[in-house]
Amino acid sequence: MDVFSDSYNLDVYVTGFLWILKLTAAGTVGALVIGTLLAAMRVSPVPVLRAFGTAWVNIFRNTPLTLIIFFCYFGLYSTLGVTLSDDLELNNYWLGVVGLSVYTAAFVCEAIRSGINTVPAGQAEAARAIGMTFRQTLTMIVLPQAGRAVVAPLGSILIALCKNATIVGTIGLMESSNAMKDLINSNGDKVFTIFFIFAGTFAIVLIPTGYGFGWLANRLAVKR
């Protein structure tokens, strides 16, 4: 434990996890917003919207996140000159958020769409029978029921997003995995302590979160 009694090392550890927290927070908002819009597009009556949603999902779900984040930095920023902030570190952070959001949105979209599939056809048919429009059917009848069915898969997607946030380290952000690498390289005799502190932090936060989502999913499930 004495590795972390050094104030510099402790600072590396805390900063690393703060970045993960910030990446997860902004990435979650981005992924949920884009993902829900994509899901709505994929079930809409307009063919162009459906095609756009399908293309997005097929492209981003099958491309490695490492490549997407690599592209955000070396493609968007270095080559095309897209700058999201004047501060170099914040710029990397926002590029990472963009990468995480567009990637995770594809998974959110698919989770919501399979949630829509759990809603019995009779619900939508009844809504249409009383004269509701597509938007009313979707927002008042189908999505509220689908939302309760997707708590568990969305939970595991968001937990995965938190773990994937470490990949933003590829473009030089000093997040937790880079922080661990640094500490290991300067304290070669305490490799296991360092690993178990870093891995343990993730485990202590994410395992209960996973069970929490499971409990919530059971509570909210529509009993049929």
Partner 1 sequence: MSTDAVLYDHPGPRARARNRILTVVFGVVLLGLLYWIYRRFDEKGQWAGSLWKPFTQSSTWTDYILPGLQGTLQAAAIAMVLSLAFGILFAVGRLSDHWWLRIPAGIVVEFFRAVPLLLMMFFIFFGIPFVTEKPMSPLWAVVIALTLYNGSVLAEAFRAGVRSVPRGQSEAAYAIGMRKGQVMGQILIPQAARAMLPVIVSQLVVLVKDTALGYIISYSELLQLGVNNVAANFGNVIQAAMVAAVIYIAVNSTLTAVAGWLSKRTRRSGKAPRAPRPAGALVGTAEP
Residue 171 half-sphere exposure toward CB, CA atoms < 13 A: 29
CA separation, residue 151 to residues 23, 49, 164, 211, 213 (Å):
21, 25, 19, 12, 7
CB of 44 to partner 1, least distance (A): 8
- Within 62-150, where are the H helices? 65-70, 88-118, 121-129, 134-136, 143-149
| In contact, 176 and 24? CB cutoff 8 Å | no
How far apart (Å, rounded) are the C-alpha atoms in residues 43 and 98? 25
User: Inter-axis angle of helices 176-186 and 7-42, to 10 degrees?
Assistant: 150
Distance of closest approach, residue 65 Cβ to partner 1, in angstroms? 7
Distance CA 168, CA 22 (A): 12
CB of 160 to partner 1, least distance (A): 5
**CA-CA distance, 190 to 77, in Å (whole number)?**
38
Whether the Cβ atoms of residue 166 and residue 20 lie closer than 8 Å to each other: yes
- Token pair belonging to 38: 């994509």
Nearest approach in angstroms of CB 128 to partner 1 is: 6
Q: What's the maximum distance between 2 C-alpha atoms anywhere in the chain?
A: 71
The tokens for 133 are 């429009």
Q: How far is the CB of 89 from partner 1 (least distance, A)?
A: 19
Amino acid at 197: I
CB of 218 vs partner 1, minimal distance in Å = 7
